[in-house]
Structure 1
Amino acid sequence: MDVLMLKPVFKDAIWGGKLLSDFGYKEAGDSAGECWGISAHKNGDCTVMNGEFAGKTLSWCWENHRELFGNMEGDVFPLLIKILGAEDDLSIQVHPNNEYAAEHENGALGKTECWYILDCKENATIVIGHNAKDKEELADMIHNARWNELIREVPIKKGDFFQINPGCLHAIKGGTLLIETQQSSDVTYRVYDYDRLQNGKPRELHVQQSIDCIVAPHEDFKQERVVKNFDGMTSTRLVKCPYYTLEKWDVDGKYTFKMDKNFMNVSVIEGNGKVNGREISKGDHFIIPSLMEECTLEGNMSVMVSFA
């Protein structure tokens, strides 16, 4: 059994630019904002590039060969991995939880997500959280466009990590490249978009849905990093939540492990090496299926590893 090497799906965005092509995705173009590296979502379904499933989409593999994923239950492949390159600011937004999305978005999943900062400009910030003391003040600040009072910005640097639970007001700011691990959902509620125009018109806002979903007062998420050293690899667990565990593996040499998960999503964020003898390099995305009893990573590289 081989790993499933995946062909990314690229999406242009009003806030996109050259950050993804500068990262190494020459096919991304000059206005790309998103690389969907591991996705079975209908809005960006990745294609397997190797082995017996070459040419098949990840959603097809999930539907027809569930044994690749440890025979997990569920209607949809649970996770989605993106690399985002924001030349400009994203809208101020929030994601719903599973219950709200199921009721209001035709049974869609909610969206719990997290960000690992791959690179950013000097003195970069992100929006995470707000300053409203309760829902009443939140609604007043939004309806009266008191954005400077409402929005909370925090400084960021390369290597920072943020877990963004449903209900957390957030936005990536310009000059930031990050990798996002999330539930397989594409539901986003925009509460403010800087009055920008796209094709001559303002983009759609979702003010009432945002007020419904934003948790007030804001609650910071805190979880300690867990570092473990192995022969040939150092693992840093960034988060463990009900929907995913995310770890950063720094490989230096050769690391062999027994596959004990339903599947593992792997994205190479730095360097190059091999997986079971197959050449891999920065920007590659693949899935280690449960049928692979043992896996060897070798080289000098950093990879993000997630599993449900």
Structure 2
Amino acid sequence: MKLYPLKFEPLYKYRLWGGEKLKTQLNKEYTESSIGESWEISDVKGDETQVLNGELKGQTLKQLINTYKGDFVGEAVYKAFGEDFPLLIKFIDAKTPLSIQVHPSNELAKERHNSFGKNEMWYVMQADKDAELIVGFEKEINKEEYQKHLEDDTILNVMHHETVAKGDTFYIPTGRIHAIGSGVLLAEIQQTSDVTYRIYDYNRVDATTGKERELHNDQALDAIDFTYHSEFKTSYETKANTANKLVHSPYFKTNFIKVENELEKDYSNLDSFVIYMCVSGSLEISHADDTYALNTGETILLPATVNAVKITASQADLLEIYL
């Protein structure tokens, strides 16, 4: 069977900080309340997304890789990761702030959790007035000073708070303390990992358990990168019908594409799958005499053997992701 562009059935995740924007702004269909995350493409054990369209409907990423190997993910990707899909793709809606947290490196995650690390990036799709993200430290700080702020419940005072708007982008490497603030809707691209160390959670009680959520300060201490940075936001161009470099890391590459009218993409020299996340507008993708609609808040995966597509839109914004 020839591979074709694949949509997946999202998995909706309850979060005590979740809101309604995934439903009201991205047209996701679910009945539960406080849904904070839509896992669009996932190979996390126990949370594997399944193909939604065509003859491969119901197949998981692992089943697809097992059957098609490098034809599905790319030969180099298959050689590096085997049957483990390397990325987790999400949309996130924070009605209230997420916990202040940090993710372990590949080495630490492998040693402690037999997992990938969790390098990730955020692309802000919508933000309420004065909404902010927390990324890194506001000033130089060492481990001892950090621990003192934790003890004194003043840790928020040394975090870097940044007011955000649509299009703002941040790369969050492992070790960098971070949190999504209230009123932010964003796209998240990350390594396949669900390992998070919480260091501060506003002393909140989860209504479903009646308890405060667990903190992981002992584990986090060895994972935190205390390096001070003066700038955290990613600068990028927005030229129409161009793959504008957004975040290129050792773990994934993401470009921003503003589609106007018609754009042809040739991936014959790229040895990787490609994922499109539509972050604004709507478009159509044509391949092998078939057409696939993609609207704001939808995601599609092009297997590595899908070498050419044509994208048509009056105007739409895409994130283009590959290894």
Fold similarity call, TM over 0.5: yes
Mean CA deviation greater in 266-275 or 129-138: 129-138
Unaligned runs of at least 5 residues, structure 1: none
Offset, 1:51? 2.6
Structure 2 match to 1:15: 17
1:188 aligns with 2:196: yes
Structure 2 match to 1:240: 248
Offset, 1:190? 0.1
Mean CA deviation greater in 144-153 or 91-100: 144-153
Letter in 1 for 2:211: K
Offset, 1:62? 2.2
1:155 aligns with 2:159: no
Tell me if the contact between 2:275 and 2:302 (Cα under 8 Å) persists in the aligned partners. yes
Offset, 1:197? 0.9
Tell me if the contact between 1:127 and 1:154 (Cα under 8 Å) persists in the aligned partners. yes
Equivalent residue runs for 1:200-215 within 5 Å: 200-215=210-225
Offset, 1:33? 0.2
Secondary structure in 1 matching 2:170: strand
Aligned length: 304
Tell me if the contact between 1:168 and 1:218 (Cα under 8 Å) persists in the aligned partners. no
Equivalent residue runs for 1:98-137 within 5 Å: 98-105=106-113, 107-130=114-137, 131=139, 133-137=141-145
CA RMSD, 1 decimal: 1.7
Structure 1 match to 2:38: 35
1:282 aligns with 2:296: yes
Unaligned runs of at least 5 residues, structure 2: none
Choose which of 50, 54, 57 in structure 2 pairs with 1:54. 57
Tell me if the contact between 1:81 and 1:181 (Cα under 8 Å) persists in the aligned partners. yes
Whole-angstrom distance in 2 between the partners of 1:28 and 1:170: 30
Runs of 4+ in 1 over 4 A off after TM superposition: 220-224, 226-229
Offset, 1:268? 1.4
Whole-angstrom distance in 2 between the partners of 1:133 and 1:69: 42
Tell me if the contact between 1:267 and 1:305 (Cα under 8 Å) persists in the aligned partners. yes
Offset, 1:20? 0.7
Tell me if the contact between 1:110 and 1:166 (Cα under 8 Å) persists in the aligned partners. yes
Secondary structure in 2 matching 1:265: strand
Q: Are the structure 2 counterparts of residues 222 and 21 from structure 1 closer, same or farther at C-alpha, using a change threshold of 3 Å? A: closer
Secondary structure in 2 matching 1:208: helix
Whole-angstrom distance in 1 between the partners of 2:118 and 2:172: 9
Structure 2 match to 1:306: 321
Structure 2 match to 1:225: 236
Larger strand percent: 1
Choose which of 21, 25, 28 in structure 2 pairs with 1:25. 28
Q: Are the structure 2 counterparts of residues 80 and 28 from structure 1 closer, same or farther at C-alpha, using a change threshold of 3 Å? A: farther
Tell me if the contact between 1:21 and 1:28 (Cα under 8 Å) persists in the aligned partners. no
1:92 aligns with 2:100: yes
Whole-angstrom distance in 2 between the partners of 1:213 and 1:93: 10
Choose which of 309, 314, 319 in structure 2 pairs with 1:295. 309
Offset, 1:227? 5.2
Tell me if the contact between 1:94 and 1:190 (Cα under 8 Å) persists in the aligned partners. yes
Letter in 1 for 2:311: L
Choose which of 276, 283, 301 in structure 2 pairs with 1:273. 283
Whole-angstrom distance in 1 between the partners of 2:322 and 2:31: 26
Tell me if the contact between 1:227 and 1:237 (Cα under 8 Å) persists in the aligned partners. no
Whole-angstrom distance in 1 between the partners of 2:133 and 2:233: 17
Normalising to structure 2: TM-score of the pair?
0.89
